Amino acid sequence: MKNVTVGEFIVESQNNFPGSTGELSKILSAVKLASKIVSHQINKAGLAKEILGSSGRENIQGEDQQKLDVFANDSFINALSARGVICGVASEENDSFVAFKNNVNNDAKYVVLIDPLDGSSNIDVNVSVGSIFSVYKRQTQKGSPVELKDFLQPGNQQVASGYIIYGSSTMLVYTTGRGVNGFTFDPSIGVFFLSHPNMKTPDQGAIYSVNEGNLNQFKKPVAEYIKFCQSQNNSQGKNPYSSRYIGSLVADFHRNLIKGGIYLYPATKINPTGKLRLTYECAPLAFLIEQAGGRAISENQRIMDIIPTELHQRVPFFVGSKNMIDQLEENLERE
Ligand code: AHG
Ligand code: MN
Ligand code: MN
């Protein structure tokens, strides 16, 4: 079988769109480059102590920034700005969006949003982490600097989204709205190969993923759903599902995408709108899961339809296999 590289795959997909300008392909190629740099750095984390641990700073959300958060943020922003194919980027690690102000960038039609390093509390303990990205067409006129409204678009306007998982191997998984494809990195030659074509998530899985330490803080319908997951209620007296929670959203999502399952980050008493960020985390993963046949909702609406009102907005997030989200949604609607 011919080994298809991600570069070849992107070019082939672009050829299916005769009017395509190649800008999206260049964005994906910049993401690919940044992910290789970040992957290389993460792989060295245990050896090079100077890249582990806190940077000593906090991001705008009051979270401790790890050194690798800062490194990944710089790597993605530099790779994206250097190619002159986007007019600006918004990142979980920056207070506000970054407008690329030279003429080439101002003439570009896309903006990118990133969570440069997801699960960063897991870096120091050699557990999988990731990066998440999404691409939108700008709302403002080409030729002018980008504005906040270019970044505050509902997920249903995404042109592309994806993630990189730095796990036992590094993988790039992305969609441009025509299914989901996964590529595995071969570090010996520095190339991503198509390993998971046309990914589909099972309609029903056997895994639930949630930080159960927060159970007493969840609202009643969610707590009841978790109790159902834990109950011995089928004919063999077994629990319906197994619990699996890594604490790196990308890694939990990736496992459930492949095996089937449900991931929950509900509202808690301490975080009444949940913890995960709509623009950098929830919307891109919602686009991917829907393209793979699954669903993503907040408490009472489809994640993809939520119009963000601020860059770092958080929302309760439930994502996964269709039947499992359907059942949770019934619980939520009964209340
Ligand atoms: P980030 O590292 O980008 O700030 O994201 C952390 C997120 C996500 O990766 C993970 O699923 C979640 O935080 C874990 O939160 P809890 O520790 O509250 O379970
Ligand atoms: Mn994250
Ligand atoms: Mn992050």
CATH number of the CATH domain containing 185: 3.30.540.10
Ramachandran area for residue 198 (φ above 0: left; ψ -120 to 50: alpha; else beta): left
CA of 66 relative to ligand 3 center, distance in Å: 9
**Local confidence band at 53 (pLDDT 50, 70, 90 cut-offs):** confident
Burial class (CB in 10 A: 0-12, 13-18, 19+), 155: buried
Give per-residue pLDDT as tens, 87-126: 999 999 999 999 998 888 888 999 999 999 999 889 889 9
Are 312 and 175 part of one and the same domain?
Answer: no
Which of 156, 166, 131, 165 lies closest to 31 in space, CA to CA? Answer: 131
Q: What is the pLDDT of residues 280-325, one digit of tens each?
A: 999 999 999 999 999 999 999 999 999 999 999 999 999 999 999 9
Query: Residue 49 belongs to what domain range?
Result: 6-196
Shared domain check, 192 and 211: no
Last residue of a domain, one of 172, 196, 220: 196
Is 202 inside any structural domain? no
Give the ligand at the shortest distance from the Cα of 250. Answer: 1
Indicate whether 1 belongs to any domain. Answer: no
If one counts the domains in the chain, the total is: 2
Could you tell me if residue 266 is inside a domain? yes
Ligand 2 (single-atom ion) residues, CB below 5 Å? 115, 118
Of 67, 118, 285, the residue with max ligand 1 atoms within 8 A of its CB, to mutate for a pocket test, comes to 118
What's the pLDDT tens digit per position in 236-293?
667 789 999 999 999 999 999 999 999 999 999 999 999 999 999 999 999 999 999 9
Q: What Cα–Cα distance (Å) separates residue 129 from each residue in 35, 122, 310?
A: 12, 7, 25
Q: What is the pTM of this model?
A: 0.96
β-pairing, 110-118 with 129-137? antiparallel
Determine whether the shortest distance from the Cβ of 120 to ligand 1 is under 6 A. Answer: yes
Mutation pick for ligand 1 pocket among 124, 275, 282 (CB with most ligand atoms within 8 Å): 275
* Residue 233: pLDDT band with limits 50, 70, 90: low
Helix, strand or coil, per DSSP, at residue 86: strand
Residue 211 CB–ligand 1 contact under 6 Å: yes
Query: Is the CB of 65 inside a 6 Å radius of any atom of ligand 1?
Result: no
Q: Count the neighbouring beta carbons within 10 Å of the beta carbon of residue 110.
A: 21
274 alpha carbon – ligand 2 mean position (Å):
13
DSSP state of 84: T
C-alpha torsion 63→281→123→197, nearest 10: -170
Which CATH number characterizes residue 214's domain?
Answer: 3.40.190.80
